[in-house]
Every structure is written in C-alpha cells, then in structure tokens.
C-alpha cells in the first residue's frame, strides 16, 4: 500500500482521537492545568512502547505497513510526543546517553523558545 496514504489515514484517525480525548477530559477537568495534553502524551507513549515492543517480538510480514499506519500515522496524529519518547529510548538503549540528553533538553527548550519567538513575531506584525 502507498506509504503516504497509510500515514495520512492513520494520522487522521489519531488526530480525531486526540481531539475527542481532549473534549472528554476537558468536560471532567476544568482547571487551567493542561491535564488532557499530559494524559494524551503519556497514553501515546505507552501505546507506542507496547506497539513497537509487540512488532519486535512478532515481526509480521506486514510490519513496515503497520509501523507507518499505527506508529507514524495514528500515534503521530495522536501525539508526536510518543515518537519523541521512542527516539529518546532508542538512543539510550544504544548507549548514546549524551546525545539522548541533548535531544531531550534541546527539543523541549528550543521548542518552547521557538513557539515563544513565533508569538512575539506575530504579535508585532499586527
């Protein structure tokens, strides 16, 4: 099957699941703490670990398509944090502790800084 189609369909499903989860959690949790995002990131990371671990144990002939559809598509649409978590663990398992630490710190700090920079730029445009 076409890899882009697998990712696109999976991504749409994951994005809808993220939105639905956010709506449900938002109805039950009205405080300003971003509980929905935190729960989505944790659930997505757990699901990614279970899925990748299962693929590694079973190695089905359709593994490449399943990885694209589920890991990249569904989980990527649900939360890219699961991919971030998988990348970090993969580096740690290869003994790349320094690069893993740099990846985590840089992704979080630079990502937040980039978002803030974008806001500052766009607020000055109007």
In a domain, 26, yes or no: yes
**92 within domain boundaries:** no
Residues 6+ apart with CB under 8 A from 92: 100
Query: Where do runs of H (alpha helix) occur along 1-126?
Result: 3-28, 35-58, 63-66, 75-78, 81-93, 97-125
Higher pLDDT among residues 122 and 59, named by residue: 122
E strand segments, the chain: none
Assigned domain for 50 exists: yes
The CB density around residue 67, as the number of other CB atoms within 10 Å, is: 16
Q: Which residue range forms the structural domain that includes residue 20?
A: 3-80
The total number of structural domains in the chain stands at 1
Span 90-121, pLDDT tens digits: 999 999 999 999 999 999 999 999 999 999 99
Q: How far apart are CA 21 and CA 45, in angstroms?
A: 15
Place of tokens 């990885």: 67
Asked if residue 32 has pLDDT above 90, the reply is no
On whether residue 57 sits in a domain, the answer given is: yes
Residue 97 CA to chain centroid, in angstroms?
A: 21
* Res. 126: pLDDT tops 70: no
| Per-residue confidence (pLDDT) for residue 60, from 0 to 100 | 84
Give the side-chain half-sphere CA count within 13 A for 45: 13
Question: For 8, how many CA atoms within 13 A lie in the half-sphere containing its CB?
Answer: 5
């Amino acid at each position: 099957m076409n890899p882009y189609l697998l990712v696109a369909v999976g991504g749409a499903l994951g994005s809808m699941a993220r939105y639905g989860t956010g709506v449900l959690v938002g109805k039950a949790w009205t405080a300003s703490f971003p509980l929905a995002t935190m729960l989505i990131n944790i659930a997505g990371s757990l699901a990614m670990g279970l899925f990748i671990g299962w693929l590694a144990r079973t190695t089905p002939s359709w593994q490449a398509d399943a990885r694209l559809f589920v890991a990249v598509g569904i989980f990527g649409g649900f939360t890219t944090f699961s991919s971030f978590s998988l990348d970090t663990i993969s580096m740690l398992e290869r003994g790349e502790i320094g690069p893993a630490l740099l990846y985590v710190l840089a992704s979080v700090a630079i990502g937040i800084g980039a978002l803030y920079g974008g806001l500052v730029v766009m607020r000055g445009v109007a």
